[in-house]
């Protein structure tokens, strides 16, 4: 990846700046701009996701456990294969540093998803990166 590139999800306002990528890790700065912003529960079958809160507070539900709130300087790690969701429980923006280990094709998936490509098609194409848990 040549220098930081920032993408914005027009549906949620979420902003992702890709800071660096090697096969071992993808490093991103993420801004959740919308109060109450909540992603759907999902799993990264082959990737660990590490959230470090830079500013604001973020909430997490990992493997169905009670909600966890993290503030600036705190890190939450979601092991590969673990159902989780994360959201902005505040009235203001939340800034996070997120690492995906290994990187796989997460930057490509995120870019295509933010561009509005069909989610079902993307989930089928990026099954190693993300899947929805059974209902």
Mean pLDDT score across all residues of the chain: 94
Number of neighbours of residue 27 by Cβ within 10 angstroms: 19
Can you give the pLDDT at residue 49? 98
For residue 102, cis peptide bond before it (omega within 30 degrees of 0):
yes
Beta pairing partners, 72: none
pLDDT tens-digit map of 27-70:
999 999 888 877 889 999 999 999 999 999 999 999 988 889 99
Banded pLDDT at 73 (limits 50, 70, 90): very high
Structural domains of the chain ordered from first start:
5-125 (2.60.120.10)
Rounded to whole angstroms, the Cα distance separating 117 from 111 reads 9
Per the listing, tokens 């549906």 go with 11
Ramachandran assignment for 116, one of left (phi > 0), alpha (psi -120 to 50 degrees), beta (any other) = left
């Amino acid at each position: 990846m040549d220098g930081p590139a920032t993408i914005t999800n027009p549906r949620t306002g979420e902003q992702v700046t890709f800071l660096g990528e090697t096969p071992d890790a993808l490093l991103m700065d993420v801004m959740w701009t919308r109060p109450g912003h909540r992603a759907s529960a999902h799993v990264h079958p082959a990737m660990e996701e590490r959230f470090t809160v830079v500013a604001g507070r973020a909430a997490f539900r990992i493997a169905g456990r009670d909600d966890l709130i993290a503030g600036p300087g705190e890190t939450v790690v979601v092991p590969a294969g673990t159902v989780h969701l994360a959201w902005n429980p505040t009235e203001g923006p939340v800034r996070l540093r997120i690492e995906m280990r290994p990187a796989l094709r997460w930057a490509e998936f995120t870019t295509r998803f933010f561009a509005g490509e069909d989610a079902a098609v993307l989930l089928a194409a990026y099954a190693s990166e993300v899947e929805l848990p059974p209902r």
